[in-house]
C-alpha cells in the first residue's frame, strides 16, 4: 500500500555538472546573469545607437506635431487626423514660402560666408601678433582651413544641401506615424511589460510627452524670437548676410549653451568685415538679443516647461555629441527632460510605497 501511495518513477536523479545546490551561490549566479544581460543590452544599444537616435528623433518630431494638433484642437473641434494633416500642410507651406522668399539670397550669402570668416580670422591673428602674442600663422593655418571647411559644410546645408536626407526623411516619417496613433504605440510597448506595471508606464509616458511638448514649444518660441530679431536688427544697419545670420541664429537657438556662442562668433566676424563700427554694432545686437532671451523669454518658458539646470544640459550635450554625433547633440535636451520626468516619477513612487509600508507596520503594531 505504501508503494502504491508513494510510487517512485525511475531512479533517483543525480546532480549534474551545472546544478547549483548552495542557495547563496545560486542567488549570486542570478545577479551575475542579470548584470551580463544589462551589459549585453548596453552593447546592443551602442551597436544600434544610430537607429535608436533616429527613432527618438521621430518621437521628438511627433511631439511637435502633437503639440500643434492639440493647440489647433482648441479652436477646431475636428478629428485628430485632420488636425495633424493641417499642421503638416501649414509647416510645408511655411518652408516653401521661406525657400521662395529668401532661398536665392541665403544660397549666395552662404557661399560668401566661409571666405569672410576666414579673412576676419587672419586679421585677428595678425592683430594678436602685432600686440606681442607669439602665434605662428603656419601652425594655425591648417586648423583654420579645417574649421572653415566645417563652416562651409554648415552654410551649404543651411543653403539647401542636406547631407543626411535619408535620416531626416526617416525621422519625418516616424514622427508622422507616431503623431497619428500615439496610443497605439503606447499600448504596444506597455503590453510587453508586467500587468502591474502597465498603468504606471502609461502615466509616466503621458507626463513625459506633456513635458516634451512644453519644452519644444518653448524652444520654437526662443528660436523665432532670436532669429527674427537678429535678422531685423542686422538688416536695419545694413550688415551683410543679415538673412543668413538670422536663420543660423534661429536654428542654433535650439541648442542651449552651445548654439548662441557659435552664432554670435559668426555674426561678429561678419560685422567686423564691414568696419569697426559695424562690428561693434553686431556685438551690441548679440548682447541685446541674448539678454532678452536669457532674462525674459527663457525664465517665462521655464515656468511652463521642464526646468533643467544649464550645466546638466551642457554635460548631456557633450556626452551625447561624442556618442551619437550631430543627432545626439540636437536631441540631448529633450532626452534629459524625459529622463528627469522618469526619475521624478520613480522617486515619488518609491516614496509612496515606503509611506504605505510604514503605515502598515504602525497599524499592525
pLDDT grade for 248, boundaries at 50, 70 and 90: confident
More confident residue, 214 or 127: 214
* pLDDT(220) > 60: yes
CB under 8 Å to 211, separation ≥6 — which residues? 305, 306, 337, 338, 340, 341
Cell, residue 71: 493647440
More confident residue, 23 or 349: 349
pLDDT grade for 2, boundaries at 50, 70 and 90: very low
Q: What are the b/e assignments for 186-225, b being 16+ CB within 10 Å?
A: beeebeeeeeeebeeebebbeebbbbbbbbbbbbbbbbeb
* pLDDT(357) > 70: yes
* pLDDT(147) > 50: no
More confident residue, 303 or 97: 97
Cell, residue 254: 535650439
Q: Where are the domains of the chain?
A: 35-349
pLDDT grade for 140, boundaries at 50, 70 and 90: low
Q: What is the mean pLDDT of residues 173-197?
A: 85
* Residue among 53, 60, 62, 54 nearest 184 (CA): 62
Among 88-92, 199-203, 240-244, the range scoring the smallest mean pLDDT is 240-244
Q: What is the mean pLDDT of residues 49-66?
A: 86
More confident residue, 295 or 137: 295
Is residue 281 exposed (0-12), middle (13-18) or buried (19+ Cβ within 10 Å)? buried
Angle in degrees, CA 40, 199, 176, rounded to 5: 75
Question: Residue for cell digits 528627469?
Answer: 340
What is the SS3 assignment for 27-91? HHHHHHHHHHHHHHHHHHHHHCHHHHHHHHHHHHHHHHHHHHHHHHHCCCCCCHHHHHHHHHHHH
* pLDDT(51) > 50: yes
The per-residue pLDDT for 217 is: 83
Task: List, for residues 255-286, the tens digit of each pLDDT value.
Answer: 777 778 888 888 888 888 778 888 889 889 98
The per-residue pLDDT for 299 is: 65
**Sign of the torsion angle spanned by Cα atoms 140, 144, 145, 147:** positive
More confident residue, 194 or 142: 194
**DSSP track, 101-155:** HHHHHHHHHHHHHHHHHHHHHHHHHHHHHHTT----HHHHHHHHHHHHHHHHHHH
Please give the Cα distance from 340 to 299 (Å, whole number): 19
The per-residue pLDDT for 161 is: 41
* pLDDT(182) > 50: yes
Whole-structure pTM value: 0.67
Question: Residue for cell digits 561624442?
Answer: 322
Q: What is the mean pLDDT of residues 80-84?
A: 87
Is residue 263 exposed (0-12), middle (13-18) or buried (19+ Cβ within 10 Å)? buried
Q: What is the mean pLDDT of the chain?
A: 75
Amino acid at each position: 500500500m505504501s508503494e502504491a501511495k508513494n510510487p517512485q518513477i525511475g531512479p533517483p536523479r543525480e546532480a549534474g555538472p551545472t546544478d547549483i545546490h548552495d542557495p547563496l551561490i545560486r542567488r549570486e549566479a542570478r545577479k551575475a546573469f542579470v548584470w551580463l544581460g544589462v551589459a549585453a543590452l548596453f552593447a546592443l544599444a551602442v551597436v544600434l545607437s544610430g537607429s535608436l537616435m533616429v527613432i527618438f528623433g521621430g518621437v521628438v518630431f511627433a511631439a511637435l506635431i502633437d503639440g500643434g494638433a492639440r493647440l489647433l484642437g482648441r479652436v477646431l473641434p475636428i478629428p485628430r487626423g485632420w488636425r495633424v494633416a493641417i499642421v503638416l500642410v501649414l509647416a510645408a507651406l511655411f518652408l516653401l514660402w521661406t525657400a521662395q522668399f529668401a532661398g536665392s539670397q541665403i544660397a549666395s550669402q552662404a557661399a560668401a560666408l566661409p571666405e569672410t570668416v576666414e579673412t576676419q580670422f587672419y586679421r585677428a591673428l595678425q592683430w594678436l601678433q602685432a600686440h606681442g602674442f607669439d602665434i605662428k600663422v603656419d601652425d594655425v593655418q591648417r586648423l583654420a582651413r579645417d574649421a572653415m571647411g566645417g563652416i562651409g559644410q554648415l552654410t551649404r546645408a543651411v543653403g539647401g544641401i542636406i547631407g543626411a536626407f535619408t535620416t531626416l526623411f526617416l525621422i519625418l516619417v516616424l514622427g508622422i506615424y507616431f503623431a497619428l496613433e500615439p496610443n497605439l504605440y503606447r499600448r504596444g510597448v506597455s503590453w510587453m511589460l508586467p500587468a502591474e506595471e502597465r498603468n504606471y508606464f502609461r502615466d509616466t509616458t503621458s507626463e513625459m510627452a506633456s513635458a516634451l511638448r512644453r519644452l519644444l514649444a518653448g524652444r520654437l518660441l526662443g528660436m523665432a524670437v532670436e532669429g527674427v530679431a537678429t535678422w531685423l536688427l542686422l538688416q536695419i544697419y545694413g550688415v551683410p548676410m543679415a538673412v543668413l545670420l538670422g536663420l543660423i541664429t534661429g536654428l542654433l537657438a535650439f541648442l542651449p549653451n552651445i548654439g548662441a556662442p557659435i552664432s554670435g562668433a559668426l555674426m561678429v566676424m561678419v560685422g567686423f568685415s564691414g568696419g569697426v563700427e559695424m562690428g561693434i554694432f553686431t556685438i551690441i545686437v548679440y548682447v541685446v538679443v541674448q539678454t532678452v532671451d536669457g532674462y525674459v523669454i527663457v525664465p517665462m518658458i521655464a515656468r511652463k516647461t521642464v526646468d533643467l539646470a544649464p550645466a546638466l544640459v551642457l554635460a548631456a550635450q557633450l556626452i551625447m555629441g561624442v556618442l551619437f554625433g550631430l543627432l545626439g547633440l540636437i536631441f540631448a535636451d529633450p532626452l534629459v527632460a524625459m529622463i528627469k520626468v522618469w526619475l521624478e516619477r520613480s522617486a515619488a513612487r518609491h516614496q509612496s510605497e515606503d509611506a504605505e509600508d510604514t503605515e502598515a507596520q504602525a497599524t499592525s503594531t
